[in-house]
Every structure is written in structure tokens, then in C-alpha cells.
């Protein structure tokens, strides 16, 4: 009986000690000069609109309102170590995005008339980021990021001659990104959830004054929130 009690106590002490000292996964990872991974995520995008003076002085449109819409991202991750606390990352990816613009015409013989239109984009998304890392706490790390981006919209309709176009957008965009993320070290990979804000600096409006909506809008800028999962090795 006493021997069984002693074995139980030793087993309890061993398991308690092991729980207090968790196994360090991928202990040599921080020594790597570079590594790669894959990324996928969900995005929410919207246009920021600046209006022309004619929008306020004419009654063609009573309201022009953009709304957020979801999309998704798929890409690759390339990470280069600069120091113990700073990395540089290049994440080429495809971003499938959609934006909605609702506009209400002024008073007509039939009353107010509201139209909702979608603008679909397929971006070749090329961000270059600096990643600022915390110390590793066992199998966990926090980081922040900041950088720039270049986007090319392969679905842009700037050169389209379709008669049903209501607004034309340019294909290229430059901008900035900021965000935060976490790294969870597993035995063979790093699971890294991240959220970032992407802001475009280039006016996306393509001037076609034959379109009524173009005459009411001075500029369009892209804004996107991206929630990503990186799987890195």
C-alpha cells in the first residue's frame, strides 16, 4: 500500500514538473536567416469617396454611399531576418475583393430612385513589410508590422467600352499597411494569425466624363482590412 502511494506521489511530481516546463517547439527556428510559408485570409474592403463641387450644387444625385464587402486572399510568405527583433517580409498574393456603391438620384417623376452597383477586383497584391518581433515566450511571440504595397487590379475596367459601365477604375495602386499578429510555435510549423489595415494612396477613379457618376466624384481611395492565417516553416 505504501509502495503504491509512493509511486503515485512520484508520478504526480513528475507530471507537475513536466507541465511547468513545456516542450520548446522548433528551438532552432530563430537561427534561420530566412524561411517561407503560405497565407490565406478574409478581407473587407471599401472605397473612400471625395465628392466634387457639382455633387453639392446639382440635383442629379441625392446620395452616393460606399459599403464594406468581403473577399479573400491567397499567397506566399517570404521572411528574411535582419536582427533578433526585426524581419523583412515579402508576401505576393492574389486578393479577390468586391466593393459596393449605392447612389440615389434626385427627385424624378417617379420619386427617389436608388441603384446599388458592385465593383469586383482581382488584385496582384505585392506588399513589402517590416516585422517588429517581441522576445519569444516559450512557444509564443507577438509582432507588429508596417510597410508599403503595390496593387495591380487585373479586373479593372479603365479601358472598357461597354455601354453599361457606371464607373471606371484604374488598375494600379500604391499604399501603406500596418498590423499586428501572433506566432504560435508547433512541433513542425508556426501558426500565425494576423490582422492589418491597408490604405491606398492613389486615386482609383478613371476620368470618363461621359458617365454621370464620374462627374459627382472627385477621387476614390481603397481601404481594406485583412484577417490572415500564415503557416510558416
pLDDT, tens digit, 9 for 90 and up, residues 110-168: 456 788 999 999 999 999 999 999 999 999 999 999 999 999 999 998 777 777 778 88
> How much is the average pLDDT of 207-224?
88
Question: Who's near 145: CB < 8 A, 6+ residues apart?
Answer: 89, 129, 130, 131, 132, 177, 178, 179, 180, 181, 194, 196
Quote the number of domains for the chain.
1
110: domain CATH number is: 2.40.160.20
Say whether pLDDT at 53 is over 90.
no
pLDDT of residue 213: 85
Say whether pLDDT at 93 is over 60.
yes
Work out the percent of the chain whose per-residue pLDDT is above 70.
Answer: 88
CA atoms within 13 A on the CB side of 181: 26
Q: Are 91 and 124 in contact (CB under 8 A)?
A: no
Domain that includes residue 146, residue range: 2-232
pLDDT of residue 208: 83
DSSP helix, strand, coil percent of the chain (3-state; round to 5)? 15, 60, 30
Query: In the structure, what pLDDT confidence band is assigned to residue 108 with cuts at 50, 70 and 90?
Result: low
In sequence order, what DSSP letters do the residues of 115-156 get, joined into one string? Answer: EEEEEEEEEEEEEEEEEEE---BTTEEEEEEEEEEEEEETT-
pLDDT of residue 105: 82
Kindly report the pTM of this predicted structure.
0.84
Say whether pLDDT at 174 is over 60.
yes
Amino acid at each position: 500500500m505504501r509502495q503504491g502511494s509512493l509511486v503515485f506521489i512520484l508520478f504526480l511530481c513528475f507530471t507537475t514538473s513536466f507541465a511547468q516546463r513545456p516542450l520548446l517547439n522548433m528551438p532552432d527556428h530563430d537561427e534561420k536567416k530566412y524561411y517561407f510559408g503560405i497565407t490565406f485570409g478574409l478581407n473587407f474592403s471599401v472605397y473612400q469617396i471625395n465628392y466634387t463641387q457639382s455633387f453639392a450644387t446639382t440635383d442629379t444625385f441625392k446620395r452616393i454611399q460606399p459599403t464594406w464587402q468581403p473577399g479573400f486572399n491567397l499567397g506566399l510568405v517570404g521572411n528574411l531576418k535582419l536582427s533578433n527583433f526585426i524581419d523583412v517580409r515579402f508576401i505576393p498574393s492574389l486578393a479577390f475583393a468586391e466593393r459596393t456603391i449605392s447612389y440615389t438620384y434626385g427627385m424624378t417623376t417617379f420619386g427617389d430612385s436608388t441603384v446599388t452597383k458592385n465593383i469586383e477586383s482581382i488584385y496582384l497584391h505585392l506588399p513589402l513589410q517590416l516585422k517588429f518581433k517581441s522576445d519569444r515566450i516559450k512557444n509564443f511571440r507577438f509582432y507588429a508590422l508596417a510597410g508599403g504595397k503595390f496593387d495591380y487590379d487585373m479586373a479593372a475596367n479603365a479601358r472598357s467600352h461597354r455601354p453599361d459601365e457606371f464607373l471606371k477604375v484604374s488598375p494600379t495602386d500604391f499604399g501603406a499597411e500596418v498590423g499586428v499578429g501572433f506566432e504560435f510555435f508547433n512541433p513542425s510549423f508556426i501558426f500565425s494569425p494576423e490582422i492589418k489595415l491597408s490604405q491606398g494612396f492613389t486615386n482609383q477613379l478613371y476620368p470618363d466624363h461621359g458617365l454621370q457618376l464620374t462627374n459627382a466624384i472627385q477621387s476614390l481611395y481603397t481601404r481594406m482590412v485583412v484577417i490572415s492565417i500564415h503557416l510558416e516553416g
